Structure 1
Amino acid sequence: MTLKNLKLALLAVMSVMWAGCDKETSLDDTYADILLYVSETTVWETIGSGGTPAVEYMQVKEKHSAEWQRLAMGSIKGFDYVHGHAYELEVRKTILANPPADASNTTYTLLEVISDVPSVTPKPDELPEEAKFKLKMVQLTPFMNLDTPLAAPFDFLTFRILDHQDEYIFPGRPEFLQYYDSIVMSSPVLPDTYCVYRKSADESGTSEEFTSQWSSHFFEKRDFPISLKGYKDNEVKYEFSITQIMRERDFLGVDWTNGAVAIANPKTSLIYSILDTRYEFLLTDTQMLNSTCYVIIKVAFSSGLTDAEYLKRQEAGLRWLLEKHLGKHPSQTAADFKTLPQDADIVEIYGNNTTRAALLHSKGDDTHEEYYYVIAEPK
């Protein structure tokens, strides 16, 4: 065999070997071994319409992530999820260079179950009836004065704690309080908690703080669980949960077609969430300019920050909000907007099927401070 023929034969063999390897994994795939937390609660979501059945998802988040994300059941190879258990897993997260059509570009493979914690909530029949309580959302105040039974992000929701007979006791002290040191509102998809009852003791005696009714906005656009947990000696003794139904309108709580528009003297509302206190927002009433509706959103001031820190917080908070509810829309330009000020300095443009929004930067001058804000309008 000549040297030339030998080279050709070697190339042919190597080509076959490479082709065989490509069937197993792409040379461009990347992976990392990470910690992944899996919540003890799941969420259900309907994909599409026309009577399509709801799909159940696990709720997962990586070690340094603040928010829980959906992940389809069975998406972690080698892992069998048990309802009511919370897990800490070591998994191999692989980013596929050439994912299958209509599939995620990310796969997970279980390496180790670091912890598997079953629910510690006692069964209801372990407590007397008078020790039990319930949580109920009793009032919905839509942002745009719409007549709707469904809450949207930035609507104002009011909750009550009821006794086991669905009775609201106010004024007065419900009987179930004697069984607990504290009662706390929480959600596995939100980072903070809210205490509705706390009993404390010191050298001067025992004191109690109790809130029977409270209100909050929520930044979520999907249904999410809310729980009230009763603690005694730092252990959960009883828990009652509901699913808060959320339906995003055109944008947050804004309905461009059916919502109210402020003709004069628009007011600004403080939007806050008791279960997610990272940011508070200032949202104007829907206004009209050039025959087009629009709203303005800012980040509320936080005490204890320098001007530079507050400016950075404004940009981060508005980016977080827009990325959560709208995707980036680089094809849109300032010329597409009808309500932007003439000297608008656009940082980023976001949008969905009904709405476009611009993250704006005002450089400030001798009479006005530098700040970031958002203007959103219908397409």
Structure 2
Amino acid sequence: MPTSKVLLNVWVNRFQKPLNKQVVTIKNLSFVLLMVLSFIWGGCDNEDTSGDSYADIIMQVSETTVWESVWGSNVPMEYMLVKEPSDTEWQRLVMGSIEGFEYVQGHAYELKVRKTTLANPPQDGMNCTYRLIEILSDTQPDTPVTPEEWPEEAKFKLKMVQLTPFMYLDTPLAAPFDLLTFRILDHRDEYTPFGNPEFLQYYDSIVMSSPVMPDTYPILQRKKGDSGTSESYTSQWNSYFFEKSDFLISLKGYKDGEVKYEYTIEQIMRERDFLGIDWERGSIAVANPQTHTIYCVLDTRYEFLLTNTQQRNNTPFVEIRVAAASHLIDAEKLQRQGAGLRWLLTKYLEKTAETAASFKTLPEDASIVETYGNDTTRVALLHIEGDDFHEECYYLIAEPK
């Protein structure tokens, strides 16, 4: 980049002519100096004298917070859930981390903030800071009509009625990759497995959602068409979840595009050794292991195939694959497999630098791409070359340490 001295000479030479043609006036010189200084200041917008760099970004803030224990402590802290432009998932941010911004529970925000990346971050702190520039939007939570305005028979409830743990563990607490069964009940806590309960007549749709997941799931849906009104309704449904911490689930009843009634529960989640796996107490399939399709009705980006826990070299292990997407060509399928498995791994584990020698259950023809782990589990992302009998693919092998 040209220096300020060179730029000044260029501008002065442009205006300087023989005295009999043009005289450089004080006004001209003031203009020149102003332009040069503006250029210098403008070129430094993204860096200051400390070496820190910054950028003004748009940040989304969820209406929901999470409480999680700090590493090495049992004391929980409250975190906001935020998304920067490059994020595909909600990220945790300690409450109060945005200078000049006061979070109000239940509100969703779109903020313009200045993100400063620190050249020398503190050893036990974040590598960036945030300062509020402007609140672009502040969305208050949907406010259903008050109970006094809505008849009792129009109200409904959501209840998780059955937990089917992976590995057939006897536990009351759900973990990622456990199957949960839900029901919609009336205001008397009564379940109607057949026919339509009375509350349905008050709504055009009833939708399941969660503030930490990208999709919704329709429980009741009425559509008007040329041939009349069609209706779909389910009173009981199943889902797995990819979350390892507690989250909210809501059922919202809509009429004429407005939320008329809402019922919310908190789903308690506890990760075991890895996902829903308990290496010590879990069952092991000695023959004919089954493959489970793991899906989430509120996050449909990926589905996974998880085998029952097997044993090789006296060591238990599981295989995890990404379910095939039939509409994709082979190269796209392979790319999706790698992306989905990395998404799952980085959500639960830290990347490691282990080699094949650390593992006891890898197949002979496997090639390790990356390894991940935590205190109890090591996982290898494997690549298998295609041949006459097998398709090229990526999959995971997880085993205890």
TM-score, normalised via structure 2 length: 0.85
Post-superposition shift, 1:114?
0.5
Please tell me the root mean square deviation across aligned C-alpha atoms, in Å: 1.7
1:104-183 to structure 2, matched below 5 A, reads: 104-125=126-147, 126-183=149-206
Query: Which residue among 67, 72, 93 is the counterpart of 2:89?
Result: 67
Q: 1:300-358: per-residue Cα shift (whole Å, max 9, x none)?
A: 1112100110010001101111111111011x111000011123211000010000000
Q: What SS does the corresponding residue of 1:153 show, helix, strand or coil?
A: coil
Match of 2:232 in 1: 209
Query: Which residue among 259, 269, 278 is the counterpart of 2:282?
Result: 259
1:296-375 to structure 2, matched below 5 A, reads: 296-330=319-353, 332-375=354-397
Question: Quick one: distance in 1 between partners of 2:49 and 2:300?
Answer: 43
Post-superposition shift, 1:87?
0.7
Post-superposition shift, 1:145?
0.1
Question: Quick one: distance in 1 between partners of 2:316 and 2:53?
Answer: 45
Which moves more between the two structures, 143-152 or 30-39? 30-39
Q: What SS does the corresponding residue of 2:341 show, helix, strand or coil?
A: helix
1:67-86 to structure 2, matched below 5 A, reads: 67-86=89-108
Post-superposition shift, 1:173?
1.0
Post-superposition shift, 1:175?
1.3
Q: 1:71-94: per-residue Cα shift (whole Å, max 9, x none)?
A: 121111000111221110011112
User: Which letter does structure 2 place at the counterpart of 1:336?
Assistant: S
Post-superposition shift, 1:360?
0.4
Question: Quick one: distance in 2 between partners of 1:219 and 1:253?
Answer: 10
Post-superposition shift, 1:179?
1.2
Question: Quick one: distance in 1 between partners of 2:313 and 2:253?
Answer: 54
User: Which letter does structure 2 place at the counterpart of 1:42?
Assistant: T
Query: Which residue among 125, 136, 159 is the counterpart of 1:103?
Result: 125
Match of 2:398 in 1: 376
Query: Which residue among 255, 278, 294 is the counterpart of 1:271?
Result: 294
Post-superposition shift, 1:107?
1.2
Q: Unmatched 5+ residue regions in structure 1? A: 1-24
Question: Quick one: distance in 1 between partners of 2:169 and 2:71?
Answer: 25
Q: 1:113-141: per-residue Cα shift (whole Å, max 9, x none)?
A: 10111123224423121111111111000
Query: Which residue among 18, 25, 28 is the counterpart of 2:51?
Result: 28
Post-superposition shift, 1:64?
4.4
Question: Quick one: distance in 2 between partners of 1:349 and 1:203?
Answer: 56
Post-superposition shift, 1:29?
2.0
Q: 1:246-275: per-residue Cα shift (whole Å, max 9, x none)?
A: 111111111100000001111111111111
Q: What's the % identity of the aligned pairs?
A: 68
Match of 1:94 in 2: 116
Question: Quick one: distance in 1 between partners of 2:222 and 2:340?
Answer: 35
Question: Quick one: distance in 2 between partners of 1:127 and 1:261?
Answer: 52
The ranges of structure 1 where at least 4 consecutive aligned residues each deviate by more than 6 angstroms after the TM superposition are none
User: Which letter does structure 2 place at the counterpart of 1:157?
Assistant: L
**How many residues are matched?**
354
Q: 1:38-88: per-residue Cα shift (whole Å, max 9, x none)?
A: 1122222344688x5532222111234221122121111000111221110
User: Which letter does structure 2 place at the counterpart of 1:54?
Assistant: P
Which moves more between the two structures, 209-218 or 236-245? 236-245
Question: Quick one: distance in 2 between partners of 1:33 and 1:179?
Answer: 46
1:54 and 2:76 correspond:
yes
| Contact 1:66–1:191 under 8 Å retained in 2 | no
Q: 1:146-195: per-residue Cα shift (whole Å, max 9, x none)?
A: 00001011100000111112111121211111111101111111111100
Match of 1:238 in 2: 261
User: Which letter does structure 2 place at the counterpart of 1:288?
Assistant: Q
Q: What SS does the corresponding residue of 2:167 show, helix, strand or coil?
A: coil
Post-superposition shift, 1:27?
2.9
Post-superposition shift, 1:101?
3.7
User: Which letter does structure 1 place at the counterpart of 2:362?
Assistant: L
User: Which letter does structure 1 place at the counterpart of 2:154?
Assistant: A
Question: Quick one: distance in 2 between partners of 1:49 and 1:27?
Answer: 32
Q: What SS does the corresponding residue of 1:144 show, helix, strand or coil?
A: helix
TM-score, normalised via structure 1 length: 0.90
User: Which letter does structure 2 place at the counterpart of 1:356?
Assistant: R
User: Which letter does structure 1 place at the counterpart of 2:391?
Assistant: E
User: Which letter does structure 2 place at the counterpart of 1:333?
Assistant: T
Which structure's CA Rg is the greater one?
2
| Contact 1:26–1:97 under 8 Å retained in 2 | no
Q: What SS does the corresponding residue of 2:143 show, helix, strand or coil?
A: coil
User: Which letter does structure 2 place at the counterpart of 1:189?
Assistant: V
Which moves more between the two structures, 187-196 or 63-72? 63-72
Q: 1:10-59: per-residue Cα shift (whole Å, max 9, x none)?
A: xxxxxxxxxxxxxxx77332222111111122222344688x55322221
User: Which letter does structure 1 place at the counterpart of 2:60?
Assistant: Y
Q: Unmatched 5+ residue regions in structure 2? A: 1-47
Residues 295 and 304 (structure 1), Cα distance of their counterparts in 2 relative to 1, 3 Å cut: same
Which moves more between the two structures, 319-328 or 54-63? 54-63
Q: What SS does the corresponding residue of 1:335 show, helix, strand or coil?
A: helix
Query: Which residue among 311, 314, 324 is the counterpart of 1:288?
Result: 311
Question: Quick one: distance in 1 between partners of 2:391 and 2:67?
Answer: 45
